[in-house]
Structure 1
Amino acid sequence: MKKNKSKAPAKLSADSLLRLGFPSGKPLGTALNIVHTYYKDLPKNHQIELLQDVLDAPDQYQLHSTLGPLALAILAQKEAAPIALKEQQQDYTIYGASGIDEGAFRQMEIAMRLPVARAGALMPDAHQGYGLPIGGVLATENAVIPYGVGVDIGCRMSMSIYDINTGFLSKNTEELKKMLLDNTRFGHTSFKRPKGHDVMDRPEFSEIPIVRELKDRAFLQLGTSGGGNHFVEFGTVDIKDADNEFNLPVGSYLAVLSHSGSRGLGANIAGYYTKVAMDSCRLPQEAKHLAWLDLATEAGQEYWLAMNLAGDYASACHHQIHERLSEALGESPLATIENHHNFAWKEKDAKGREYIVHRKGATPAGKGVLGIIPGSMATPGFLVRGKGEAKALNSASHGAGRVMSRTQAKNTLSKPQVQKHLKKAGIEVLGSDLDEAPMVYKDIHQVMAAQQDLVEVVGVFNPKIVRMNGDEKYMEVD
């Protein structure tokens, strides 16, 4: 009769400790060495409890025979002086300064004092965020800042243009609303049967531990949109430039415009590597969210691969949104355009030097590069062509930019007030809440006027039927 062999306790990993908030660097390595040498027979949960005790009170374990080295490593890291910022900030270019809040200026000034910062610019839709301001563009040398990219990695715009007369929209409003309700999902909802996509076969999903754990959830969220300011909408686009890249005649067309990002995949990647960066790159309190990862390190390379995966995943979600709506319309698009923000790119300056360019809420606007800059749900968006302005680091705004925080909007505005505004603008809205009302955004026309040196307008998009996260009837005009 065979005897049952007892299983060895599950081995404690670095990723497990990092997710629990354990500091990276020497304390992490010391902790793993100790548990795998002296406490390997303890159950995993007991190993974690033991290490947590040392982390909570390292001064009490300094003389412990086996845990002393860990306590000393934790204390040494806590006492280590933070990396000093430059005494003087580097200059950076500002567009539309009169419409930018002081918080955004302060954050950009701190960013320009980072030792790795080489150039910067502030777009006209800029406002205060975490770390780098929304609308901030920052070039660094061989370093990537997770919070310089943002939480919603690879958030993007996507537009499909159809050979359908714009009169179709007003005559088929109810049918188009139903198409949006049937073919889009927002927030915590998803499709019962998500469509497959090649992005799910990427090696990063098996090679990077934190990404591997997110694969199942990422598959369930394929083809869906997030909450907040994310939307899918029907509208009309007026092509104004006869010499356009799509060979479309000047005129009006039916269009679908979507705005969303990398969902839970990007958010968890951002949170995990921000923690790693803040543990390994200690900065003064006012700059702590600008902690960076050196691209020469394993963590830096991991984040770079994970960030690019999240960007491609966000693109895949948009493609599926537009595929579903194209099928519902029974039409193939004449043209599709997309661009992303909340990302970092490897780019070279005029002298051939390579930098990491972070665009946190900024649109790539290299010479000839197409992009989409939306307004609010009740104002136009713009299909643009970049002019390649070096002072702006080949960037432009990613939208109108907020003038009112979400809390302020909910405390200030009322549902009847917003409904009246939407009715006057002729907009149908499914979902949304007061924090995304048109009044919370800057005047998109002023924002566009402030960046005439950065982009030229190819076409103008006017939203008509908008779907966002929330109760489908919340903002619908009576």
Structure 2
Amino acid sequence: MSKQTVRGNDLRKIGFPEGPAIGRALDVLADRQFKKLDKGSALALLQQIKADPYKYVRDETWREVAQELVPQPSKSVGLNPEIKDYRRYGEEFIEDGARKQMDTAMQLPVTIDGALMPDAHQGYGLPIGGVLAVDNAVIPYGVGMDIGCRMALSVFPLPEHELYQRAKELRKIILENTRFGNKSGFDKKMDDAIFERPEFREIGVLKGKRQTAIDQIGTSGSGNHFVEFGVVDITDPDNELDVPPGKYLGLLSHSGSRGLGAAVAQHYTKLAMQACPLPPEARHLAWLSLDSQAGQEYWAAMNLAGDYASACHDQIHRRISKALGERAMAKVENHHNFAWRETLADGREAIVHRKGATPAGKGVLGVIPGSMTAPGFIVRGRGERDSLQSASHGAGRRMSRSAAMKTLKEGDVRRELKDHGIELMGGGLDEAPMAYKDIHQVMAHQRDLVDVLGSFTPKIVRMDAGGKGGKGGGE
């Protein structure tokens, strides 16, 4: 392969504007992973980024280039000069980037109220762990790319010791009944009523995604998505699950709406940025009015994507339950990347975005996972109005994915997992337990938000073999 010799003039010829985009693109191409790329391939890639920079604004490698290429409006919608007050939980260990992003969100003209959860960390647009209530509008990046990302827990009528006695069998069951990433689905697919939904015929962006949704039904994404067997420990005798206190075999899954949700997010984010141009620091918070056709379309597509995510989890749990030969005696599920129409404490109706936050209305059940070596928790919401009836969606990252990949050593991670009796299939350094906050600290900062009914401790974990991500960190 010929040596790559891309220069500034080459970029100008394919339409790159004068300015930082050229220098930043050349800096990326100088990186070791691109040095062996031939000139034609490099320019073809850069042409793709130039043609649709919105597609690359979340890409860790190319986002700085893409952000320079996103068309800048001649006139933008102004932010309010004052930052509306909002509640921060566990503020002392929330990174500055997440606080700054939330501050910006609280300056939007449509913002009514907000809150920041104790697992919060920097994301795109609204921070992960951010909760934002707005007036008659929806923010695609306030929901996130993985629309309807969801937790689902099944509790089986099997005692804890069966997890260890049947470990080899359980490992085989997970391997045979789960699929991760975009490379493969199931040869024999389970049908689902969701494919008859009219949205697939009525909404343009969904028309071409129905077959993708069919191909990916019952599968899990890459990144921070997982399916795992572990120990459920029910501690509250008055739990709504009707499960007596004790330790049981459990199955926990975490995944979202796959390629369907990503397509919806990308399409309507682009429309929002065009319709609602904001200053650079806020541009990913562009909104669609729910009085507009695009806003109504996004709302319908978002709800379809959420229902599709739920259908995927249902099929995962049905497949594994059948292979296990057991029917779950209790299930707990919740979205954590979604928007809901809710009534606030002052009686106003609002659209509440929970990006990486668990619904915690009074009596609402949910699952808040920890890391691979720390328990997650089955919780009941307390309906706390200051948090907009929300809680964290996991432990949250204390180390970025790129930092984890650069600083953690595979041998150290393997020893950590072994010391905790964890068998991991797939995954990577960026999912390492050391990359996450202490879930016990996170839970201590939200005692007013949820009651704990029990815990889930992972033991046999499967993740995508080649993906990036980590528990509690997805968008």
Whole-angstrom CA distance in 2 between matches of 1:295 and 1:105:
27
From 83, 103, 106, the equivalent of 2:100 is: 106
Distance 1:138 1:307, change over 3 A: same
Whole-angstrom CA distance in 1 between matches of 2:106 and 2:295:
21
From 172, 180, 205, the equivalent of 2:166 is: 172
Alignment of 1:116-135 (within 5 A): 116-135=110-129
Correspondence 1:331 to 2:314: no
Please state how far the C-alpha of 1:406 moved relative to its aligned partner.
1.1
Tell me, what secondary structure is at the counterpart of 1:182? helix
Corresponding residue of 2:262: 267
Corresponding residue of 2:191: 196
**AA partner of residue 211 (structure 1):** L
From 179, 182, 186, the equivalent of 2:180 is: 186
Distance 1:78 1:183, change over 3 A: closer
Tell me, what secondary structure is at the counterpart of 1:164? strand
Whole-angstrom CA distance in 2 between matches of 1:79 and 1:117:
22
Native 8 Å contact 1:430 1:471 kept in 2: no
From 449, 458, 461, the equivalent of 1:454 is: 449
Please state how far the C-alpha of 1:79 moved relative to its aligned partner.
6.0
Distance 1:79 1:258, change over 3 A: closer
Distance 1:274 1:404, change over 3 A: same
Q: CA RMSD in A?
A: 1.4
Distance 1:79 1:212, change over 3 A: closer
Corresponding residue of 1:442: 437
C-alpha distance after superposition, 1:357-407 (max 9, x if no partner): 000000000000000000011110000000000000000000000011111
**Mean Cα deviation higher: 376-385 or 244-253:** 244-253
Corresponding residue of 1:248: 243
Tell me, what secondary structure is at the counterpart of 2:386? helix
Tell me, what secondary structure is at the counterpart of 1:134? strand
Corresponding residue of 1:370: 365
C-alpha distance after superposition, 1:275-333 (max 9, x if no partner): 00000101001100000000000000000000000000000000000000100111110
Corresponding residue of 2:308: 313
Whole-angstrom CA distance in 2 between matches of 1:311 and 1:294:
20
Corresponding residue of 2:417: 422
Tell me, what secondary structure is at the counterpart of 1:446? helix
Q: How many residues align?
A: 398
Native 8 Å contact 2:73 2:277 kept in 1: no
Correspondence 1:85 to 2:76: no
Native 8 Å contact 1:125 1:402 kept in 2: yes
**AA partner of residue 195 (structure 1):** M
Correspondence 1:139 to 2:133: yes
C-alpha distance after superposition, 1:211-232 (max 9, x if no partner): 0111101100000000111000
Corresponding residue of 1:160: 154
Whole-angstrom CA distance in 2 between matches of 1:248 and 1:217:
38
Please state how far the C-alpha of 1:78 moved relative to its aligned partner.
6.7
Whole-angstrom CA distance in 2 between matches of 1:422 and 1:442:
16
Whole-angstrom CA distance in 1 between matches of 2:396 and 2:412:
21
Whole-angstrom CA distance in 1 between matches of 2:281 and 2:346:
33
Native 8 Å contact 1:376 1:441 kept in 2: yes
Please state how far the C-alpha of 1:192 moved relative to its aligned partner.
1.3
From 353, 357, 364, the equivalent of 1:358 is: 353
Instruction: Return structure 1 stretches of 4+ with deviation > 2 angstroms.
Output: 77-80
Correspondence 1:398 to 2:393: yes
Native 8 Å contact 2:224 2:431 kept in 1: yes
TM-score (ref. length: structure 1):
0.82
Native 8 Å contact 1:194 1:221 kept in 2: no
**AA partner of residue 88 (structure 2):** I
Gaps (5+ residues) in structure 2?
A: 1-49, 52-70, 468-475
Please state how far the C-alpha of 1:174 moved relative to its aligned partner.
0.8
TM-score (ref. length: structure 2):
0.82
Native 8 Å contact 2:222 2:466 kept in 1: no
